[in-house]
Amino acid sequence: MATRTVVHKEIIVKGRVQGVGFRANAKRVADSMHIQGQVKNLLDGSVWILAEGTAEEMEDFIAWCRSGPAMAAVKELEITDGDVQHIKGFTILYS
C-alpha cells in the first residue's frame, strides 16, 4: 500500500498577480486538487500561498501557480519547504 506523505510549501508568486483573480482561482484549483492551505495578497504586489498536499498534488498545484489564471503574468515563484501543519480546507485571507 502506497503512503500519501504530505508536504508543506510556502509559495510567493511574483508578477502581475493581483487584480486578476489569482486568489479565487488558486482556491478553486487547490480545492479540485485536494490542496489544503491559505492564499493572500501581499503589500509588495505578490501573492503568498501556504499549501499542503501529497508530493504529486503539490507538483500539479505548483505547475498551475507558474501560469495562474488567464489575466495573470507570473514572473517568478519562490518556494520554501516547511513543517506540515495539517491545515484543513483552503482559505482566502484578506489583508
Residues with catalytic annotation? 23, 41
Short-list 14, 7, 3, CA closest to 81:
7
The C-alpha angle with vertex 61 and arms to 78 and 68, in degrees rounded to 5, equals 70
Q: Please report the DSSP string for 71-94 in residue order.
A: T-EEEEEEEEEE------SEEE--
SS3 state of residue 47: strand
Q: How far apart (Å, rounded) are the C-alpha atoms in residues 91 and 50?
A: 10
